[in-house]
Amino acid sequence: MNVICIEEDAFHTLIDGVIKYVKSQMESVIRDKWVGKKEAMRLLRIKSPTTLQKLRDEGKIRFSKPERKHIVYDRDSINEYLEAHAIETFDDK
């Protein structure tokens, strides 16, 4: 086993670099406009592919069919659907 010793400033610079790298990777994942069936179901918090198909068939969420059996869903449309069905809580003032 090898032990590597570095100065405190170098350690903090290394950690800052790692955090910056991870954030940039997360942003590229989050920015993907089109998501597959599993991700769409996860975002909608549903377990049934039938429910996802119903939302698609009723025009409640946007989708694209780049190939015959390949369907992708618009992330923004899913977020809009969730916002449209959000229930505001009562304020106890």
Interatomic CA distance for residues 77 and 60, integer angstroms: 8
Interatomic CA distance for residues 73 and 68, integer angstroms: 15
Nearest alpha-carbon partner for 86 in 58, 45, 47, 49: 45
Whole-angstrom CA distances from 1 to 4, 11 are 10, 20
Q: Which whole number is the average pLDDT over 35-50?
A: 95
> Does 18 have pLDDT greater than 90?
yes
Q: What is the pLDDT of residue 88?
A: 85
pLDDT confidence of 27, banded at 50, 70, 90? confident
Q: Which whole number is the average pLDDT over 69-77?
A: 95
**Averaged confidence pLDDT in the chain:** 91
